[in-house]
Amino acid sequence: MPEHPSGVRTDAKPHRSLFERLTALISPEPENRAELLDVLHDAHERKLIDADALSMIEGVFQVSDLCARDIMIPRSQMDVIDISKPIEEWMPEVLSTAHSRFPAIEGERDKVVGILLAKDLLRYYAEESFDVRAMLRPPIFIPESKRLNVLLRDFRANHNHMAIVVDEYSGVSGLITIEDVLEQIVGDIEDEYDSDETEDNIMSLREGQFGPRWRVKALTEIAQFNDELGARLADDDVDTIGGLVSKHLGRMAHKGDILDLGNLRFEVLRADARRVHVLLVERLPDVPELDL
């Protein structure tokens, strides 16, 4: 064993008091993620950490659980430019959407040939000759199954802000940005893909095991939800879908919670210590709808 010149062993562990040893015996360290989260929630209840800190820690855990398909902007919701058409045809959409980046396609959405930065279009007004193809940045393609923690690391290492998500047949499923990933940790960020329009509250997804599926923002009003999905949910005490789910659960909803209301199944995709953010809704077969 290594010794100090004075003859004292240098690898000796610091002496712990009897109180510290008894405390460790009564309250052992957490052995898994669930126990760690319980400790953090207890710390929040005792006001040792605030709700913002707790929600960000929970967000870090969620990033390692989620993959690209869970939070991507679906193909049908993507704003793209078609470089096979004259610039004059798609320039109005660039101006109206005001995004900073656009996937550039050539004729069809499965043929993404590059990413166009909106700032590069300034040259279109400054130069007599402008080649949009020369302005394109190489697109980054990722599978739907790519974990968000790995994707975030790749974004940072390669200085990319956008990736195109593809399915197992190499068809375009959607797109994802670095802001989408960061929102899982720090909460909603007002970026170029956010919109105040109510149609963004409900996004249709690929059909699931039982039937049609939607990704629904928890702040979606029940009335809008009923109109778009043909449901008959009702509650005089709450106004939003997230509030309705939490009320039926009888507690604050957590990621992974599943609740069946009539012929609709609700799964909490994202939530933190303060509120629910995103739900996955799937229509179940052969179950009569109820007035709830």
> Which pLDDT tens digit goes with each residue over 79-99?
999 999 998 899 888 888 888
pTM score of the predicted model: 0.60
Query: Averaged over 226-255, what is the pLDDT?
Result: 87
Distance CA 13, CA 212 (A): 59
Burial 137-176 (b: 16+ CB within 10 A, else e): eebbebebebebbebbeebeeeebbbbbbbeeeeebbbbb
Q: Is 77 a residue whose pLDDT tops 50?
A: yes
Q: Is 24 a residue whose pLDDT tops 70?
A: no
Distance CA 20, CA 27 (A): 10
Q: Is 288 a residue whose pLDDT tops 60?
A: no
From the list 270, 206, 253, the residue with the least C-alpha distance to 71 is 270
Q: Is 237 a residue whose pLDDT tops 60?
A: yes
Distance CA 259, CA 253 (A): 10
Q: 3-class SS at 123? A: helix
- Residue found by looking up tokens 């869970």 in the block: 70
Contact 235, 266 (CB under 8 A): no
Structure tokens of 202?
A: 């409900």
Q: Is 201 a residue whose pLDDT tops 90?
A: no
Name the amino acid, one letter, at 241: I
Query: Averaged over 139-168, what is the pLDDT?
Result: 93
- Please give the mean pLDDT across all residues of the chain: 81
Distance CA 57, CA 65 (A): 13
pLDDT band at 192, cuts 50/70/90?
A: very low
Is the four-CA dihedral 17, 38, 188, 154 of positive or negative sign? positive
Contact 180, 269 (CB under 8 A): no
Structure tokens of 247?
A: 């009320």
pLDDT band at 46, cuts 50/70/90?
A: confident
Q: Is 207 a residue whose pLDDT tops 70?
A: yes
Q: Is 292 a residue whose pLDDT tops 80?
A: no
User: What angle separates helix 51-65 from helix 33-45, to the nearest 10 degrees?
Assistant: 160
- Percentage of the chain exceeding pLDDT 90: 27
pLDDT band at 287, cuts 50/70/90?
A: low
Structure tokens of 188?
A: 């909603």
Question: What's the confidence (pLDDT) of residue 222?
Answer: 92
Radius of gyration of the chain (CA): 25
Q: Specify the range with the lowest mean pLDDT, choosing from 80-84, 175-179, 234-238.
A: 234-238
Distance CA 242, CA 255 (A): 12
pLDDT band at 270, cuts 50/70/90?
A: confident
